[in-house]
Amino acid sequence: DDNSDEQVSGGPALTAMASEGKRPAQYSGCIDEGSRMMNQIKTLLERNRGWAESVQKEDPGFFARLSGQQNPDYLWIGCSDSRVPANQIVDLPPGEVFVHRNVANLLHHNDMNALSVVQFAVDVLKVKHIMIVGHYGCGGIKAAMTGGECGIVDYWLHSVRELYSRHRKTLETLPLAEQVDRMCELNVKAQVDNLCRTKIIQRAWQRGQPLAVHGWVYGLNDGRVTDLECTVEGLDQVPQLYRVDRLVRADQAD
Ligand code: CO
């Protein structure tokens, strides 16, 4: 097959292992792949040592300080995409950003994982800003729009498909890439709304806790974040139907 030449070429580790007679020769292909994978992990651990040493050298109190407590002002809810790393994009060190990421940066009201993160960030860490961060060219958004058989993630992306169906008429004249980018923006706005409709956020506002929810989109091709200017920072910006205090104020409902 295509990998046959890779399978017969053994690295130093394989040669060493083979000469020590630890594996029968007929498994040499597996050993080669296995040792390649082991080497990847070894490299990561070596990089980690190097990183920890350089941080320690630059700021000797860094780890001692951070291990004591975290005190982030920001909760980042972003896409799992490997090209959208939260801290690096806003150039902040460890300890400054609480992070939750999933495919297509969604905030579903039945997602215990995301809601637990939000509650801990708001009630315990008392973050001041939550940013929902999408990114242009998001594969999750595109998959939801174009269909296909992706497995479990199809269920996960169902709400994006519904969002697309609501905007399809206005979007379908655009080229696909542009449709995807507009949908990335619309999806971020929808998730900002979703988040602001949770009791976690609304109770914080009721308590008078300063908290702003922002919608951002990151550009993979230029590294720039665009603020979609859909920031919500108080209960008065939430439609009456979705407000926790709507029953109390039913007589004055609009
Ligand atoms: Co994405």
pLDDT in tens, 118-135: 999 999 999 999 999 999
Give the CA-trace dihedral at 13, 17, 20, 24, to 10 degrees: -150
Expressed in angstroms and rounded, the spacing between residue 114 Cα and the centre of ligand 1 is 16
Helix H or strand E encompassing 84: none
What is the pLDDT at residue 2? Answer: 43
Annotated catalytic residue 150:
no
The per-residue pLDDT for range 141-154, each reduced to its tens digit, is 999 999 877 788 99
> Which residue positions in the chain have pLDDT lower than 50?
1-21, 253-254
Catalytic residue chosen out of the listed positions 79, 184, 196, 230? 79
Annotated catalytic residue 79:
yes
Expressed in angstroms and rounded, the spacing between residue 20 Cα and the centre of ligand 1 is 46
- Residue 228 three-state SS: coil
Annotated catalytic residue 154:
no
Catalytic residue chosen out of the listed positions 135, 193, 214, 230? 135
Q: For residues 10 and 28, is the Cβ–Cβ distance under 8 A?
A: yes
pTM: 0.84
The radius of gyration of the chain from alpha carbons, rounded to an integer in Å, stands at 24
What is the pLDDT at residue 7? Answer: 40
What is the pLDDT at residue 249? Answer: 54
* 46 CB-contact burial (10 Å; exposed 0-12 / middle 13-18 / buried 19+): exposed
Expressed in angstroms and rounded, the spacing between residue 136 Cα and the centre of ligand 1 is 8
Amino acid at 61: G
